[in-house]
Structure 1
Amino acid sequence: MAKQCFKKAAFVRMLISVLSVACSQTADAQTGACYGTIADNLPPATEVVALCSQYNIQRIRLFNPNPSVLQALQGNTNISVIVGVANEDIIGIASDANVARSWVQNNILKYGNVNFRYIAVGNEISPLDGGSAGIAPSVVPAMQNIYNAISASGLGGRVKVSTALSFGVLGTSYPPSAGAFIPEIQSSFINPIVQFLVKTQGPFLVNLYPYFAYASNTKDVRLDYALFTSPSTVVSDGPYQYQNLFNAMVDAANAALQKAGAADVEVVVSETGWPSAGGTATTLDNARSYNSNLIKSVGNGTPRKPGKPIETYIFDLIDENQKSPEIEKHWGVFLPNKQPKYPISFAK
Structure 2
Amino acid sequence: MATFSTSSSALSAAVILLLGLFMANLDTTGAQVGVCYGMMGNNLPNAREVVELYKQNNIRRMRLYDPNQQALQALRGSNIEVMLGVPNSDLQSLSNPSNANSWVQRNVLSFWPNVRFRYIAVGNEVSPVNGGTAWLAQYVLPAIVNVYNAIRSAGLQNQIKVSTAIDMTLIGVSYPPSAGDFRGDVKKYLFPILGHLEYAKTPLLANIYTYFSYSGNPRDISLPYALFTSPGVVAWDGSRGYQNLFDAMLDSLYSALERTGFAGSLQVVVSESGWPSAGGFGTTYDNARTYLTNLIQHVKKGTPKRPGAIETYIFAMFNENQKSPELEKNFGIFLPNKQPKYNLNFGAHIDRIPAEYNETIPLTSDM
The TM-score with structure 2 as length reference comes to 0.87
Alignment partner, residue 13 of structure 1? none
Contact 1:20/1:26 (8 A) holds in 2? no
Could you report, residue by residue, the CA deviation over 1:155-209 in whole angstroms, capped at 9, with x for unpaired residues?
Answer: 11100000001111101111111110011110x2110111011000111111111
The alignment partner of 1:275 has SS state of coil
Instruction: Tell me how far apart the structure 2 counterparts of residues 263 and 57 of structure 1 sit (CA, whole Å).
Output: 30
Partner-residue secondary structure (3-state), 2:185: helix
Q: How does 1:143-182 map to 2 (within 5 A)?
A: 143-182=144-183
CA change 1:293–1:91 in 2 (3 A) is same
> For 2:26 and 2:191, how far apart are their aligned partners in 1?
45
Q: How far is 1:36 from its partner?
A: 0.3
Separation in 1 of the partners of 2:304 and 2:144?
31
1:343 match: 343
Q: Which structure has the larger Rg over C-alpha atoms?
A: 2
Q: How does 1:259-270 map to 2 (within 5 A)?
A: 259-260=259-260, 261-270=262-271
| Matched ranges for 1:237-256 at <5 A | 237-256=237-256
Do the aligned residues in 2 keep the contact of 1:27 with 1:347 (CA within 8 Å)?
Answer: yes
Deviations 1:267-293 (A, max 9, x none): 111011000000111111111100010
Work out the CA distance in 2 between the residues paired with 1:320 and 1:24: 30
Identity over aligned pairs, percent: 52
CA distance in 1, matches of 2:130, 2:20: 46
User: Where does residue 306 of structure 2 map in the other structure?
Assistant: 305
Alpha-carbon distance in 1 for matches of 2:81, 2:197: 20
Q: Is the 8 A contact 1:20 1:27 kept in 2?
A: no
- Tell me the equivalent position of 1:61: 63
Distance 2:82 2:200 in 1: 19
8 Å contact 1:317–1:333 — kept in the other structure?
A: yes
CA deviation after TM superposition for structure 1 residue 141, in Å: 0.8
- 1:48 pairs with 47, 50, 70, which one? 50
Paired letter, 1:133? A
Query: Partner of 2:291 in structure 1?
Result: 290
Identify if the C-alpha distance between structure 1 residues 119 and 19 changes in structure 2 by more than 3 Å, giving closer, same or farther. Answer: farther
Shift of 1:24: 8.6
CA positional deviation for 1:22 = 7.6
1:326–1:123: structure 2 CA closer, same or farther, 3 Å change rule? same
- Aligned pairs for 1:196-211 (under 5 A) are 196-211=196-211
Distance 1:200 1:85 in 2: 18
1:233 paired with 2:233, answer yes
Contact 1:27 1:56 in 2 (8 A): no
Q: 1:22 and 1:29, CA in 2 relative to 1: closer, same or farther beyond 3 A?
A: closer
* Aligned pair partner of 1:37 in 36, 39, 51: 39
Match of 1:317 in 2: 317
Counterpart of 1:85 in structure 2 is: 86
Tell which has more relative contact order, 1 or 2 (C-alpha 8 A, sep 6+).
1
Whole-Å Cα distance in 2 between the matches of residues 21 and 237 of structure 1? 37
In structure 2, the residue matched to 1:3 is none
Q: Structure 2: any 5+ residue segments left out of the alignment? A: 1-18, 349-367
Residue 347 of structure 1: how far off its partner (Å): 2.0
C-alpha displacement of 1:331 = 0.1
Task: Tell me the amino acid that sits aligned with residue 172 of structure 1.
Answer: V
- CA shift for structure 1 position 25: 6.7
CA distance in 2, matches of 1:192, 1:24: 38
AA partner of residue 216 (structure 1): G
Once the two structures are overlaid, the 10-residue window that deviates more, 316-325 or 18-27, is 18-27
Q: Deviations over 1:122-166 (max 9, x none)?
A: 000000011111110111111000000000012111000000011
Rounded Cα–Cα distance in structure 2 between residues aligned with 1:341 and 1:259? 41
Query: Does the Cα contact within 8 Å between 2:29 and 2:300 map onto a contact in 1?
Result: no
The separation in 2 between residues aligned to 1:36 and 1:242, in whole angstroms, is 32
Equivalent residue, structure 1, for 2:119: 118
Call closer, same or farther: CA 1:25–1:191 in 2, change over 3 Å.
closer
Secondary structure class of the residue paired with 2:320: coil
1:74-100 deviation line (CA, Å, top 9, x unaligned):
0112x1110000111111111x21100
In structure 2, do the counterparts of structure 1 residues 41 and 303 end up closer, same or farther at CA, with 3 Å as the change threshold? same
* TM superposition shift of 1:344: 1.1
**CA distance in 1: counterparts of 2:126 and 2:26, whole angstroms:** 42
Aligned partners of 1:179 and 1:256 also within 8 Å:
yes
Task: Name segments (4+ residues, structure 1) moved above 3 Å.
Answer: 17-20, 22-27
Q: What is the CA distance between 1:56 and its match in structure 2?
A: 1.1
TM-score for the superposition, normalised by structure 1: 0.92
Q: CA RMSD in A?
A: 1.7
Partner in structure 2 of residue 10 of structure 1: none
Return the offset for 1:53.
0.9
- How far did residue 342 of structure 1 move? 1.8
Partner of 2:359: none
Q: Retained in 2: the 8 A contact 1:167–1:208?
A: yes
Residue 216 of structure 1 pairs with residue 192 of structure 2: no
SS at match of 2:39: coil
One-letter amino acid matched to 2:162: V
SS in 2 for 1:248: helix
